[in-house]
């Protein structure tokens, strides 16, 4: 017989892990980069999400759209620089493009799930916004800004859709102070939703192995103290900043485990949930 990594003990561990999630909520954030770079990503994600739902796990998918938005803005000749922390102030002109791109990505995510027979509730199709957003404070002078950070989440409305047996597909748009459509970073959005729903897990799936140290080596377990130090000294920069900051916030808010994982690794979503070793970077209390 050929040797395998499996043992009865290992299989029992996976089954216990899965059983412990029944009735609980997992929030998965999928990066715009992952969708953009890998045509196999959405079908593979859908296969894993369908499996989890069939085991009575409640699933919320949040997506961004960074590279798709960058491309569409360039084509439209609209400037929309990102801040040093990877978050994007959004002008009214850029917002028109952002909304179109977000709706298109939501449809692509929902289609991948529907192809597998999943029931999906999509905020974009329902034309609903589920969060309040507080505008960024320090934006350059004269820049009219329609972006900020999530404050309040309509958690009861999201729960009602999960209760109906739907998988939720949410873009990262919300309501500004005057009820205008406001943009947020999808990592920030996913964190706010995970906290409001009391999710057991927040998974931030991206296009890189996880958080890398100054020597570009994967950090498997990251404590809040080290995470803050790596942001302060610039080792963690750009789009990784909102992920790590969101993870820290969710940890403080009581979410059990936050992982930053490579969405391109086959079965990484399931593997992360079912095995103790996991993939990517786990943010955990010291």
C-beta separation of 102 from 122 below 8 A: no
CB of 259 to ligand ADP, least distance (A): 13
C-beta separation of 203 from 268 below 8 A: no
**Token pair 């570009």 is at which residue?**
216
CB of 195 to ligand ADP, least distance (A): 19
Interface with Mg ion includes 239 (CB under 5 A)?
yes
Interface with ligand ADP includes 207 (CB under 6 A)?
yes
Interface with Mg ion includes 257 (CB under 5 A)?
no
Strands (E), the chain: 25-30, 58-63, 120-122, 131-135, 148-153, 167-171, 173-175, 181-183, 201-206, 221-222, 257-262, 281-283
String of contacts with ligand ADP for each residue 238-277, x by CB under 6 A: xxx-------------------------------------
Q: Quick one: which H or E segment has residue 185?
A: none
Of 91 and 185, nearer to Mg ion (C-beta) is: 185
Of 50 and 85, nearer to Mg ion (C-beta) is: 85
Residue of 129, 208, 259, 274 interacting with ligand ADP (CB under 6 A): 208
Residue of 155, 212, 265, 270 interacting with ligand ADP (CB under 6 A): 212
Query: Measured in Å, how far apart are the chain's first and last C-alpha atoms?
Result: 43
CB of 13 to ligand ADP, least distance (A): 29
Of 118 and 133, nearer to Mg ion (C-beta) is: 133
Of 133 and 161, nearer to ligand ADP (C-beta) is: 133
Q: Of the ranges 4-12, 237-245, 255-263, 277-285, which one interacts with Mg ion (CB under 5 A)? A: 237-245
**CA angle, 46 as apex, 155 and 38 as ends, to 5°?**
115
**Token pair 């377990």 is at which residue?**
221
Supply 28's token pair: 């998965």
Residue 174 touches which of Mg ion, ligand ADP, none (Cβ within 5-8 Å per kind): none
Residue of 25, 31, 72, 124 interacting with ligand ADP (CB under 6 A): 31
180: left (phi over 0), alpha (psi -120 to 50) or beta: beta
Phi and psi angles of residue 230, each rounded to the nearest 5 degrees, phi first = -70, -30
SS3 5: coil
Q: State how far the Cα of 267 lies from the Cα of 273, in Å rounded to an integer.
A: 10
Using CB positions, name the residue nearest to Mg ion. Answer: 239
Residues near ligand ADP, by CB under 6 A: 31-33, 64, 66, 86, 206-208, 211-212, 235-240
């Amino acid at each position: 017989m050929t040797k395998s990594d499996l043992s009865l003990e290992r299989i029992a561990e996976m089954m216990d892990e899965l059983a412990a999630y029944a009735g609980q909520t997992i929030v998965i954030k999928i990066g715009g980069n992952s969708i953009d770079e890998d045509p196999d990503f959405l079908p593979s994600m859908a296969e894993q999400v369908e499996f989890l739902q069939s085991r009575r796990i409640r699933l919320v998918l949040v997506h961004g759209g960074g590279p798709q938005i960058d491309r569409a803005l360039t084509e439209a000749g609209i400037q929309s620089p990102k801040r040093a922390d990877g978050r994007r102030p959004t002008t009214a002109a850029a917002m028109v493009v952002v909304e179109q791109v977000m709706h298109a990505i939501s449809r692509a995510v929902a289609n991948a799930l529907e192809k597998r027979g999943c029931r999906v509730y999509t905020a974009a199709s329902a034309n609903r916004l589920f969060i309040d957003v507080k505008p960024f404070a320090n934006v350059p002078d004269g820049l009219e800004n329609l972006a900020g950070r999530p404050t309040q989440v309509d958690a009861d409305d999201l729960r009602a859709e999960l209760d109906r047996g739907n998988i939720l597909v949410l873009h990262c748009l919300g309501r500004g102070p005057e009820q205008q459509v406001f943009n947020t970073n999808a990592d920030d959005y996913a964190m706010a939703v995970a906290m409001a729903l009391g999710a057991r897990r927040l998974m931030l799936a991206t296009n890189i192995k996880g958080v890398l140290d100054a020597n570009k080596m994967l950090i498997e377990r990251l404590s809040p103290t080290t995470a803050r130090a790596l942001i302060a000294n610039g080792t963690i920069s750009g789009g990784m900043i909102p992920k790590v900051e969101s993870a820290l916030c969710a940890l403080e808010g009581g979410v059990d485990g936050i992982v930053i994982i490579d969405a391109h690794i086959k079965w990484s979503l399931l593997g992360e949930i079912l095995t103790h070793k996991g993939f990517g970077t786990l943010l955990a209390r010291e």
